């Protein structure tokens, strides 16, 4: 009987295999949670309730990428880019020269829509509009060489699509070409809490198509609001599934494990 | 145990390579003694982070200045000033908004750690009992466990100060289990 080779070390990573290349967020604690960062080319739903820190996290993700020499792009759907830029000035980690050098690009979806002629009075895109919009996104990513993209918010885009099938199709197509370009993307999803349960999206479709879901929320602890973050799903990497506290510090966002607080006694989602 | 003996035991504990120590002080002279311990370590050229849960950091700074301690490599995490509407402008202090935000203590310690210049460092947690006003015992035990192990990983000499008269058997045994040494018991 052949002896079993006991000299070969056993991999402690339950997934085994070869890890995918990562896009490091350089946000304190998040790369550790993600085992090195977001897999390059992943399209990730950054879902959260109002005031949970989604836009701040997305902006720091882009700014850190731009500081590392990458070309990054933020597409604002709900706010004018001028307002977004003035909000950015309040963050210590923001560097205005990144915008001037073209490393951080901020676009208004309304301006893109106007140029494409897809802004409709009834607020609903036709399939032709959808194609035009996808084409515009593709052009931006391709021409600028964008490696990090944020769409804030995908929920606002989805509201303009006629049905769930169109939403699925839109995100799937978006995901396909972004992945081809190796562009790591955060799609911001506005969520609500219903009966103490937080959803990942308004339409219930986005999370199924996305490669990853990062859930952000507010926790009430004895009357105080704390921001939380949890990675629910991330294709292409092992990751922590524990809930973490996220806080804005003088050096940017930072994440630490959330205390269990006696199995959630005295704290609730909002 | 006199404060001189306690200070000597702390120095010995540092030299022995301990990383986590519980220091039990009497209520009557607690504040004076905690300032004396910090002064001794600072004057031995250790850099430190002082976590205060029982009184504003501005008071501790004043007392350390009066004691002529070298404050050039000392930083504070202050859980009191914002809660009571005190001054929050000191550049060497990070203020935590509410004493229920226990995780912020860990986060702020790790931020301040990067500013420490000295090779030999300490974290002084004044005091464990200060947190018990806002947190249930089971929560406090969880936090102490996380804090203690987090400090151990960082290899910073950490002192958990307790008020002898306010520390019940449960909390005392949890601290004993976690610490390398209990001084002033």
- pLDDT tier at A110, thresholds 50, 70, 90: confident
Distance separating alpha carbons of residues B39 and B67, to the nearest angstrom: 7
Taking CB atoms and an 8 Å limit, are B101 and A249 in contact across chains? no
Distance separating alpha carbons of residues A71 and A255, to the nearest angstrom: 25
Name the residue in chain A with its Cα closest to that of B93.
Answer: A250
Distance separating alpha carbons of residues A213 and A232, to the nearest angstrom: 5
Contacts of A249 in chain B (CB under 8 A): 107-108, 111
- Residue A19's φ and ψ, nearest 5 degrees, are -70, 150
Name the residue in chain B with its Cα closest to that of A227.
Answer: B101
pLDDT tens digits, residue range B41-87?
999 999 999 999 989 999 999 999 999 999 999 999 999 999 888 88
Helix (H, G, I), strand (E, B) or coil at A198: strand
Name the residue in chain B with its Cα closest to that of A255.
Answer: B107
**At residue A100, does pLDDT exceed 50?**
yes
**Residue A261 burial (10 A CB sphere; 0-12, 13-18, 19+):** buried
**At residue A42, does pLDDT exceed 80?**
yes
Q: Looking at CA atoms only, how far is residue B107 from chain A in angstroms?
A: 7
Helix (H, G, I), strand (E, B) or coil at A170: helix
Angle between helices B30-43 and B57-66 (to 10 degrees): 60
pLDDT tens digit at each of 185 positions of chain B: 888 899 999 999 999 999 999 999 999 999 999 999 999 999 999 999 999 998 999 999 999 999 999 999 999 999 999 988 888 889 999 999 998 899 999 999 999 999 999 999 999 999 999 888 888 888 888 888 898 888 888 888 999 999 999 999 988 998 999 899 999 86
Contacts of A222 in chain B (CB under 8 A): 100, 134
pLDDT at res. B132: 85
Q: Mutate which of A27, A219, A222 to test chain B, going by most B C-beta atoms within 10 A? A: A222
Taking CB atoms and an 8 Å limit, are A224 and B139 in contact across chains? no
pLDDT tens digits, residue range A155-203?
999 998 889 999 999 999 999 999 999 999 999 999 887 766 778 888 8
What the block records as the tokens of B72 is 């050039």
Taking CB atoms and an 8 Å limit, are A259 and B97 in contact across chains? no
pLDDT tens digits, residue range A221-257?
888 899 999 999 999 999 999 999 999 888 889 999 9
pLDDT at res. B38: 96
Q: Give chain A's domains with CATH numbers.
A: 22-269 (3.40.50.300)
What the block records as the tokens of B108 is 């702020």
* DSSP code of residue A155: H
Contacts of B153 in chain A (CB under 8 A): none
Q: What angle do CA A86, A96, A256 make, to 5 degrees?
A: 80
- Taken in order A154, A160, A166, A169, is the CA torsion positive or negative? negative
Q: Looking at CA atoms only, how far is residue B138 from chain A in angstroms?
A: 7
- CB-based contact, B162 to chain A, within 8 Å: no
From B94, B100, B108, residue closest to A221, measured CB to CB: B100
Check if the beta carbon of residue A13 is closer than 8 Å to that of residue A35.
no
What the block records as the tokens of B4 is 């001189």
Domain around B131:
3-183
pLDDT tens digits, residue range A194-218?
766 778 888 888 888 999 999 999 8
Taking CB atoms and an 8 Å limit, are A224 and B100 in contact across chains? yes
From A222, A251, A260, residue closest to B142, measured CB to CB: A260
pLDDT at res. A10: 64
Q: Looking at CA atoms only, how far is residue B142 from chain A in angstroms?
A: 7
- pLDDT tier at A30, thresholds 50, 70, 90: very high
Check if the beta carbon of residue A42 is closer than 8 Å to that of residue A209.
no
pLDDT at res. B121: 94
Q: Which of residues 226-255 of A touch B (CB under 8 A)?
A: 226, 245, 247, 249-251, 254
- Radius of gyration (Cα) for chain B, nearest Å? 15
From A222, A245, A249, residue closest to B103, measured CB to CB: A245
CATH number, domain containing residue B104: 3.40.50.300
pLDDT at res. B68: 93
Contacts of A226 in chain B (CB under 8 A): 101, 103
- CB-based contact, B142 to chain A, within 8 Å: yes
* Residue of A190 and A11 predicted with greater confidence: A190
ipTM more than 0.90? Answer: no
Angle between helices A127-144 and A109-116 (to 10 degrees): 120
Q: How many CA atoms lie within 13 A of A39 on its CB side?
A: 18
Residue B50 β-bridge partners: B76, B124
Taking CB atoms and an 8 Å limit, are B111 and A251 in contact across chains? yes
Using a cut of 0.90, tell me whether the model's pTM lies above it.
Answer: no
The residue count of chain B comes to 185
In order, the DSSP letters of B91-133 are TTEEE-S-TT-HHHHHHHHHHHHTT---SSEEEEEE-HHHHTT
Mean pLDDT along residues A146-154: 95
Number of structural domains (chain B) is 1
Name the residue in chain A with its Cα closest to that of B106.
Answer: A256
**CA separation (Å) from B128 to A258, B10, B27, B53?**
19, 18, 13, 8
pLDDT at res. A112: 84
Taking CB atoms and an 8 Å limit, are B103 and A259 in contact across chains? yes
- pLDDT tier at A263, thresholds 50, 70, 90: very low
Taking CB atoms and an 8 Å limit, are A262 and B139 in contact across chains? yes
- Residue B134's φ and ψ, nearest 5 degrees, are -105, -15
């Amino acid at each position: 009987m052949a002896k079993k080779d006991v000299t070969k070390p056993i991999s402690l990573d339950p997934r085994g295999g070869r890890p995918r290349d990562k896009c490091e967020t350089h946000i304190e604690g998040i790369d550790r949670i993600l085992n090195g960062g977001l897999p390059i080319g992943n399209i990730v739903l950054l879902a959260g309730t109002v005031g949970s820190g989604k836009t701040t996290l997305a902006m720091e993700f882009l700014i850190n990428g731009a500081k590392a020499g990458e070309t990054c792009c933020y597409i604002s759907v709900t706010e004018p880019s001028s307002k977004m830029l003035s909000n950015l000035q309040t963050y210590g980690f923001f560097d205005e020269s990144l915008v001037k050098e073209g490393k951080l690009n901020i676009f208004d979806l309304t301006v893109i829509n106007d140029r494409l002629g897809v802004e409709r009075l009834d607020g609903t895109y036709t399939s032709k509009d959808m194609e035009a919009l996808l084409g515009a996104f593709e052009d931006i990513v391709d021409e600028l060489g964008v490696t990090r993209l944020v769409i804030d918010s995908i929920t606002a885009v989805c509201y303009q699509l006629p049905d769930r099938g169109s939403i699925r199709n839109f995100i799937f197509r978006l995901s396909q070409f972004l992945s081809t370009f190796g562009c790591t993307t955060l799609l911001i999803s506005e969520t609500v809490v219903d009966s103490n349960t937080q959803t990942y999206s308004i339409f219930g479709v986005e999370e199924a198509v996305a490669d990853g879901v990062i859930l952000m929320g507010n926790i009430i602890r004895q009357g105080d609001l704390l921001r939380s973050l949890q990675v629910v799903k991330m294709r292409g990497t092992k990751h922590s599934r524990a809930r973490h506290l996220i806080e804005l510090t003088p050096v940017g966002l930072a994440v630490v494990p959330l205390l269990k607080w006696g199995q959630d006694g005295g704290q609730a989602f909002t | 145990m006199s404060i001189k003996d306690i200070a000597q035991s702390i120095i010995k504990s540092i030299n022995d390579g301990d990383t986590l120590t519980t220091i039990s002080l009497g209520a009557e002279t607690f504040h004076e003694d905690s300032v004396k311990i910090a002064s001794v370590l600072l004057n031995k050229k250790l850099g430190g982070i002082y976590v205060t849960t029982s009184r504003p950091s501005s008071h501790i700074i004043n007392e350390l200045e009066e004691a002529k301690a070298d404050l050039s490599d000392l930083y504070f995490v202050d859980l009191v000033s914002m809660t009571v509407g005190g001054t929050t402008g000191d550049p060497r202090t990070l203020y935590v908004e509410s004493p229920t935000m226990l995780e912020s203590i860990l986060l702020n310690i790790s931020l301040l750690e990067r500013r420490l210049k000295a090779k030999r460092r300490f974290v002084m947690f004044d005091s464990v009992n200060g947190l018990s006003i806002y947190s249930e015992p089971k929560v406090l035990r969880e936090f102490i466990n996380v804090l203690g192990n987090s400090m151990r990983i960082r290899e910073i000499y950490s002192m958990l100060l307790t008020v002898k008269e306010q520390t019940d058997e449960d909390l005392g045994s949890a601290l004993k289990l976690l610490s390398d040494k209990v001084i002033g018991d």
